[in-house]
Amino acid sequence: MEELLKLAKEHVKHCYCPYSDFHVVAVLETISGKKFVGVNVENSSYGLTVCAERVAIFKAISEGEKNFSKILIYSPDGTPFPCGACRQVMAEFCSEDFEVIVATENKILSYTLKKLLPFSFNLNR
């Protein structure tokens, strides 16, 4: 986990958050140990903003990765729990026991995806 946190802290400078000033970095790890980093990218048309978690997941998917073990979400500005949209995207690509780590300067919390999103939408159910 320390390696993921270090990587996240190194990427805070890449966040684009001029509207909220809330920096978020997500580090997604595959089952094989490969890591993908995403940062939040805001837009003046707020609905077009993309969260760090989705950036990391889409980056990994676009490079052919499909098997994920965990994601660390870090912010120096507050507790960065994933939004509903990010939780649903995680549910699309990750198992219920996928680990979601939420980290700040002072605390680290760990949850399973099932705990954060007990009733995800699934078109086939």
Binding positions for substrate are 40-46
Structure tokens at 8: 């996240």
Indicate the annotated binding residues for Zn(2+): 51, 83, 86
* H helices present in 49-94, as ranges: 52-62, 84-93
Annotated active-site positions, please? 53
